[in-house]
Amino acid sequence: MKVSWRITGIYAAVGLGWIFLSSLAVWIGVGEPPGIASLLELGKGCVFILVTALMLLVLLRRWETELNRRGAALAESNRELSEVNTRLSGIMRGSQDLIAAWDRDKRLTAFNPRYQAVCWNFFECDVKIGMPIEEVFGRVPDRLQLFSECWDRTLAGESFVQLQSLTTDGDIGWFETSYGSLAGEDGRPCGGFHIVRDVTDRVRAEESGRLQAEKLAKAVETLTEANAELERFAFVASHDLQEPLRTVACFAQLVERDYGEGLDDRGRQYLELVTGGAIRMHEMVNDLLAYSRTSRSEGRIERVSAATACQSALNNLREAIDSSGAEITVAPLPEVDADPVMLIQVFQNLVGNAVKYRKEGLVPHIQVSAEQAGRYWQFSVADNGIGFDPKEQDVFELFRRLHPHSSYAGTGVGLAICKRIVNRLGGHIWVESTPGAGSVFRFTLPLGEESPPAPAPV
């Protein structure tokens, strides 16, 4: 039975009993049977008791309902606090970080097993609740002073992080310590906590990375100097080779002119080999000079119409295009940020190769186009020529040739120049080709200021 009903029942029983007993005492004293007036008084008293009992019951029920609600809320809060406490205890026990709390008097109020283990390993101290800071760090005076200073800052309400080191048996361990204060009922710091994380591996990795970065920077500096020296050597050597090559070619021609009639067929063949070799060497030196100038030249980067650059390249190749009967289609090309002379050279080398490496008896069809690919413009020069297998060798390597001189003229420098120019302009160049099915050379240039493709000039 509920408490409210019990209390109401007791009140009603006592009240009614008191009224009946009082009335009975009056009737006995008078010695006469009760009259109508007495019965009315008795009924009035009973009604009063019953009405007040009902009111008391209502109030007690409300009071009981409120108590039940508050009790349920308190039970729920206790359950949640118990769960939070269980989770926090689990985190404290399972954490690999060192966690400890201290009061205003610098006495230990809480710690996790990891903290206890490290204190034993490093300080030979079995920590306990209530232990003062002097006992915990008594064997390491320098740590005692450092921790005391940090704790004073924490008690002043400051939160901060420090990187500290500990040396054990000659081995240095690095620890990142986070300090924070705990507020009391008055809002002022009544203690604090610190969380220590072992960051030895991270510090060592950062130190190793720093040393590797320094070594890499030195290697890059060395390679840059060596590359600059090689470029200067290539430029000077190529320039100085021009004169002896001209001398060889000139005297070979003089020998052929003055003594050609006195030479037999083998002599003329030897003389042609000397002249041809000198001419090819002269072409290689010229291409090497062009390659060297490409790397040495600072260039002028400006907004350039790729359509205009492509048309200039086609004009430079007009004789080869007309003699081969090549049909060239140029789709609308955009404006890009580039050196105009270098961009013309890229188009000229790619289109020139497409005209040169054509199939016998087949009209060359060459298509130049461009499309946007992310933050780049992707240019394509496609042909229906002889093609090749790109997996066999890198055609962009300097002096790389896929065919003998007797089949196709050239020095193998043109594509290497294209690669260097495109790389300097911030792009990338590659080729897709199949033997006998033609080739597609593609290169990218940064998008720069967005502009729509423009048609090539007619």
Task: Indicate whether 80 belongs to any domain.
Answer: yes
Q: Both 441 and 306 in a single domain?
A: yes
Q: Supply the CATH number for residue 238's domain.
A: 1.10.287.130
Task: Indicate whether 455 belongs to any domain.
Answer: no
- pLDDT higher at 233 or 78: 78
Place of tokens 């130049």: 368
295 exposure class (CB count in 10 Å sphere: 0-12, 13-18, 19+) = middle
With a cut of 50, say whether residue 458 has pLDDT above it. no
Span 109-146, pLDDT tens digits: 888 888 877 777 766 778 888 888 888 877 777 777 88
Q: Phi and psi (nearest 5°) for 35?
A: -95, -175
Residue ending a domain, among 248, 266, 296, is: 296
What number of helices (H) and strands (E) belong to the chain? 11, 12
Task: Indicate whether 213 belongs to any domain.
Answer: yes
Q: Both 328 and 442 in a single domain?
A: yes
| Cβ atoms within 10 Å, residue 442 | 19
Q: Both 40 and 168 in a single domain?
A: no
Residue ending a domain, among 156, 171, 198, is: 198
pTM for the full model?
A: 0.46
Give 261's DSSP letter: G
Q: Both 220 and 308 in a single domain?
A: no
Residues near 396 by beta carbon (within 8 Å), at least 6 away in sequence: 415, 416, 418, 419, 429, 431
CB–CB of 358/383 below 8 Å?
yes
Task: Indicate whether 112 belongs to any domain.
Answer: yes
Q: Both 306 and 438 in a single domain?
A: yes
Give 455's DSSP letter: P
Q: Supply the CATH number for residue 118's domain.
A: 3.30.450.20
Residue ending a domain, among 198, 224, 240, is: 198
Task: Indicate whether 8 belongs to any domain.
Answer: yes
Span 277-335, pLDDT tens digits: 766 666 666 666 666 666 555 557 888 899 999 999 898 888 888 888 889 999 999 99
Q: Total structural domains in the chain?
A: 4
**pLDDT (mean) for 359-375:** 89
Q: Both 324 and 194 in a single domain?
A: no
Coil vs helix vs strand at 315: helix
**pLDDT (mean) for 209-230:** 81
Q: Both 260 and 329 in a single domain?
A: no
Q: Whole domain around residue 234: which residue ranges? A: 204-296
Q: Both 331 and 266 in a single domain?
A: no
Task: Indicate whether 189 belongs to any domain.
Answer: yes
Sign of the dihedral through C-alpha 337, 338, 339, 341? negative
